[in-house]
Amino acid sequence: MSKRLGLVCGSFHRDEVERMLAFASEEAEFQGLAVGDVVWVPGSMEVPLALDRLLASHDAAACLGIIEKGETQHGLAMGQAVIKTVLELQLKHDKPIGLGIIGPGAEPHHIEPRLEPHARAAVRAVMGA
């Protein structure tokens, strides 16, 4: 029986993250993982709660999104908080979480070339954990 992977997707950059979701789903199939629930959240700050809920019924999870560089340090602070909480959730649930969030600090020209590599790496990370 294959392991169930839950995916959390940030909808702020919906078009780009839909492409990431396609790459992640393809990689999951290649790795022998069954994609379970896919949850869309408004942005990166809502990712941890969705991950916490998914991990109750999935063997692993991954999150996909983009945190762009802004005019202030808000994105950096937000990204650090999200990543710290993702690490804490892995320990709480004793289940792997793949981090497929581009940024923080991503500029528009950084996004396109990172969509596929980040999405696929997030799925591969749960296989290696």
Which residues participate in catalysis according to the annotation?
Answer: 74
d(CA 122, CA 118): 6
Q: Is residue 63 a contact partner of residue 98, using CB atoms and an 8 Å limit? A: yes
3-state helix, strand, coil in the chain (%, to 5): 55, 25, 20
d(CA 62, CA 107): 22
Q: Are strands 34-41 and 97-106 parallel, antiparallel or unpaired?
A: unpaired
